[in-house]
Amino acid sequence: MTIPPPTAQTPLHRRPAVPGQPGEARSPGPESAVRLRGLTKTFGGQTVVDALDLEIGRGEFFSLLGPSGCGKTTTLRMIAGFSDPTAGTIEVGGEDVTSVPPHRRDVNTVFQSYALFDHLDVRRNVGFGLRRKGIDRGEADRRVAEALELVQLADRARDRPAQLSGGQRQRVALARAIVNRPQLLLLDEPLAALDLKLRRAMQLELKAIQREVGITFLFVTHDQDEAMSMSDRIAIMHDGLIEQCGTPEDVYENPTSVFAAGFIGTSNLMPGTYRAGRVHVCDGLAVPVSGEGLVDGESVSVAVRPEKIWLSELTDAMVRVPGRVAASSYHGATTQYLVDVAPGVTLTVLEQNLPRMRPEDRWTKGAQVELGWLPEHGVVLR
């Protein structure tokens, strides 16, 4: 993707959002906003970030998603320059910045704690970076006003951070970072401190702002919904390694590891042994799969998403398994069933409550059912 870098002439909030198209050479210079090569960090013998390779395109909204302690913050701190990598290199905008101190990197951070300057009012907080860069007063004031407009805080310009609510502080932190128009904006769980409703609202707002300013966002979260709904691409991180990287759809539909399948959404995992086009899960349950690249006797798992399993209108093309409903729970838009298909193997099935369905159409506990899913929805994981 190529989106022209912000220029001094275009007002921040009026710059047209240029749709990124592969191969379209709109801006000179490298295609990637950031490129990590073999980035490694060890703390006293413990490897926290393990030879990370990652490339993020210009203007991309990229999420780093992973459980607590997997090394997300550590990665961000190395990119920002607060922490020296044990090994590997960091390039920002094609320039190797591995040993450049933070104040000379064209990268800004939105901290989880917001880290606003309590002794300065909102306006001065936002203008802080511009002043440091020696941007002249009039220009700086104009850009600060624009940034505050963008985050809808123009009327709070003279307040101290202590007088603002959590959501407003969050937006000041965001304005303070984007006003500098960095090559790359790092956001470390910026919404984690907000309550659910405000968080949903801020997700939409953040995404809209990112589209408007066209700055590359590297967004850290451990909330998979957040990552799914906002990102152009997601990297799933686990124990310092990137397990999988791709578009939200790609990562969801085609998980490449057991961890990825379990971390994004829920998956029915059926571990077994591959033999002659089927994964033998247990006696009486052998799931046909496309056996591409598999050898007989290999231990694999089949993962099927709960909403990909059908309980009615099955077709011949489907993998079909008989079972018995062990539990059902009604969730408004959906109904969730737990179905025993073999001793010790229970599958979760999520059925849409469609308009034409009546209450008596729902399965009850103990009902004998037949489940089915299309072969391509049974993902084989090693």
Contacting positions for Mg ion (CB under 5 A): 73
Decide if residue 192 touches another protein (CB under 8 A): no
Q: Supply the minimum distance, in Å, between the C-beta of residue 330 and another protein.
A: 44
Q: Is the CB of 84 or the CB of 139 nearer to ligand ATP?
A: 84
Rounded Cα distance between 236 and 363, Å, is: 36
Nearer to ligand ATP, 52 or 279 (CB): 52
**Ranges of H-type helices in 215-321:** 224-230, 248-253, 258-263
How far is residue 303 CA from its own chain's centroid?
A: 21
Of 17, 84, 95, 117, which one interacts with another protein (CB under 8 A)?
Answer: 117
Decide: 114 and 172 in contact? Cβ < 8 Å. yes
Q: What number of chain residues touch ligand ATP (CB under 6 A)? A: 11
**Nearest distance, CB of residue 82 and another protein, angstroms:** 5
Q: Name which of 73 and 267 has its Cβ closer to Mg ion.
A: 73
| Burial of 333: CB neighbours in 10 Å, binned 0-12, 13-18, 19+ | exposed
- Does position 72 interact with ligand ATP (CB under 6 A)? The reply is yes
Q: Which residue is nearest to ligand ATP (CB)?
A: 73
Residue type, 65: L
Minimum CB separation of residue 129 from another protein in Å reads 4
Residue 8 contacts another protein per CB under 8 A: no
Pick the stretch among 15-23, 51-59, 61-69, 275-283 that binds ligand ATP (CB under 6 A): 61-69
User: Regarding beta strands 87-92 and 32-43, do their DSSP bridges make them parallel or antiparallel, or are they unpaired?
Assistant: antiparallel
State yes or no: residue 69 binds ligand ATP (CB under 6 A). Answer: yes
Find the binding residues for ligand ATP in span 207-266 (CB under 6 A).
222
**Selected binder of ligand ATP within 7, 9, 68, 368 (CB under 6 A):** 68
* 301 touches ligand ATP (CB under 6 A): no
Other Cβ atoms within 10 Å of 38 Cβ, number = 12
End-to-end CA distance of the chain: 32
Q: For helices 122-133 and 137-150, what crossing angle results, to 10°?
A: 130
Question: Does 128 engage in binding with another protein (CB under 8 A)?
Answer: yes
Among positions 133, 211, 365, 382, the unique one binding another protein when judged by CB under 8 A: 133
- The residues, ordered by sequence, that sit 6+ positions from 324 with a Cβ below 8 Å of its Cβ are 339, 340, 366, 367, 368, 369
Count Cα neighbours of 185 within 13 Å in the Cβ-side half-sphere.
29
Q: Is 149 exposed, middle or buried (0-12, 13-18, 19+ CB in 10 A)?
A: middle
The CA distance from 278 to 299, in Å, is 12
CB of 192 to Mg ion, least distance (A): 9
Each residue 21-60 as x (binds ligand ATP by CB under 6 A) or -, in order, gives: ----------------------x----x------------
Distance CA 318, CA 327 (A): 24
Residues that bind another protein (CB under 8 A): 80-82, 101-103, 107-109, 111-113, 115-120, 128-129, 132-133, 160, 162, 176-177, 180
Note the residues at the interface with ligand ATP (CB under 6 A). Answer: 43, 48, 66, 68-74, 222
